[in-house]
Homo-oligomer: A and B are copies of this chain.
Amino acid sequence: MIVVLRLGHRRVRDARVTTHVCLTARAFGASEVWVDAEDRELERVVDGVVARFGGPFKIRTGVAWKKELRAFRGTKVHLTMYGLLLDEALPAISKAARGKDVMLIVGASKVPGEVFGLADFNVAVGSHPHSEVAALAIALDRLTRSGWARTKFKGASVAVRPHARRKDVVKLNKGKGPASEEE
């Protein structure tokens, strides 16, 4: 089980980027996202995507992050441009995480300095400023060996059928197979 911990979320300023963090967590193989600040609207948006496109995926907001970080029984990986390079750290992380849950920690702008000490690994997806969304996607891709490309989500009410030239969204009658306007 992989959980993503989002720190430093401010409802107005970070609304869109935190939404990207949550949906990227879901799409690339995490089971849960925990956000420090309470944000009902964010929960509504993410729960809506899970209802339409499937799960399981859980969002919690208003999380006491320091307590949760300390209590987490698993391998804690802080994604930061200042950390050790991902490619070099990956074997040690994989070894440490064998049979355990993994927590990936991503901040919005500044992260409290103590996070560097509370994490088991501080890891950089490149030592350059870019985006916690990009870092999360690449880290999940590497940790799961691109497992996201093969994930089957459950309980979806719609699905996208890949198409070269247009949108093809299928309504799913659960248990009855796909029903689409194109069929």
Contact = CB atoms under 8 A, between A and B. Distances in A.
Interface of A: 13-14, 16-17, 20-21, 23-24, 26-28, 49, 53, 81-88, 116-117, 121-122, 124, 126-131, 133-138, 141, 148-149, 153, 159-169
Contact of A83 (B27, B122, B164): B164
A153 B133 CA distance: 22
A128 B53 contact: yes
What is the oligomeric copy number?
2
A54 to B, nearest CB: 8
A166 to B, nearest CB: 6
A28 B135 CA distance: 11
Nearest to A168: B82
A85 B116 CA distance: 37
A69 to B, nearest CB: 16
Contacts of A28: 126, 130, 134
Contacts of A131: 20-21, 23-24, 133, 137
Contacts of A53: 128-129
Residue among A16, A128, A160, A166 with the highest chain B CB neighbour number at 10 A: A128
B160 A124 contact: yes
Contacts of A126: 27-28, 148-149
A27 B164 contact: no
B138 A23 contact: no
Contact of A124 (B17, B128, B137, B162): B162
B163 A83 contact: yes
27 contacts: A17-B17, A20-B20, A23-B128, A23-B129, A23-B130, A23-B131, A24-B130, A24-B134, A26-B128, A28-B130, A81-B160, A82-B160, A82-B167, A83-B162, A84-B164, A85-B149, A88-B162, A122-B163, A122-B164, A124-B162, A127-B159, A127-B160, A131-B137, A133-B133, A134-B137, A137-B138, A141-B141
